[in-house]
Amino acid sequence: MSNPAATPTPPCEPHGRTDGPLRAALQDDIALRHLGLAESVARSFSSFGPDAADIRQVAYLGLIKAVQRFNPARGVPFASFAIPTITGEIKRYLRDCCWVIRPPRHLQDLRTEAVRAAPVLAQRLGREPTTRELAAELGAEEPVVAEALTCSTSLRPESLDAPFDGKSWGDTLPSPDNCIERSDDLVSLRAAVNGLTPAEKELLYRRYFKEQTQQQIGEHLGMTQMQVSRKLARILVLLQERLAGPAGSGSADIRIA
């Protein structure tokens, strides 16, 4: 591929533009000659998160825009004009299209600077730089740099079900393996509770829904703590018998807190 700076300047009209098919042909030729330039700029953004192919396509778009806007009459080499144009197009793409959760603009810009500075600083130090060292290099506060680096997860947030410590988020939920069986249990429990007296229902409600202590329940209902404990025990045994048969027939114990 030829040196971009040595690309012949196309014949121009007084305002540096050609017309019709000739202009289109010249623009196509310049773009094809500088594909390598666009790919080089795209590679410099390869560590920023999105797929390299996507950034390369944006770089090509920036190259086309540079060709369309270029005015050789100004005496500026095409490569010197195209590189900022391509770079700006990629930065806009990264800023506007690649954040699933978009952080503030200053954090985006600081993250870009940090990503560029980190390899240079690592080469100088002979190791990965700390956040404090990176902040000193950028002339920014350490907490702000840390936040900017953390916001990288907003580009491609992990799935809520992504494995963590060998388990998915769903595995940590207190849900039984068989939802159908649990639904059957709830229906049976509701029927058993509906067979209790209003006073018995109130005891269950205050102990297990309002999470009152036995002492608090007794004070509210005019009973001793021992009376509340005995009544709750009888109610739980009654529910157990209705759900799983008589106590001691192999059913699970109901523990009284």
| SS3 sequence of 14-25 | CCCCCCHHHHHH
**DSSP for 228-251, written as a single string:** HHHHHHHHHHHHHHHHHSSTTSSP
Overall size of the chain counted in residues: 257
Topology of the domain covering 4-97: Rna Polymerase Sigma Factor; Chain: A (1.10.1740)
- The average confidence (pLDDT) of the chain is 76
Q: Which residues pair with 167 in a beta bridge?
A: 164
Least confident range from 50-54, 118-122, 197-201, 240-244: namely 50-54
Assigned token pair, 46:
């390869």
Among candidates 177, 232, 245, 171, which has minimal Cα distance to 202?
Answer: 232
Amino acid at 179: C
Contact (CB, 8 A) for 218 and 227: yes
Per-residue pLDDT of 6-23, as tens digits, reads 444 444 443 444 467 787
Contact (CB, 8 A) for 235 and 202: no
105-159 is classed CATH 1.10.287: no
pLDDT band at residue 75, thresholds of 50, 70 and 90? Answer: confident
Q: What is the pTM of this model?
A: 0.39
The more confidently predicted of residues 129 and 101 is 129
Q: Which own/partner pairs from 51-54 qualify as long-range (CB within 8 Å, at least 24 positions apart)?
A: 54/93
**Class of 178-244 in CATH:** mainly alpha
Per-residue pLDDT of 159-173, as tens digits, reads 556 666 666 666 666
Contact (CB, 8 A) for 146 and 131: yes
Q: Which residues pair with 252 in a beta bridge?
A: none
Domain ranges of the chain: 4-97, 105-159, 178-244
Same fold yes or no, 105-159 and 178-244: yes
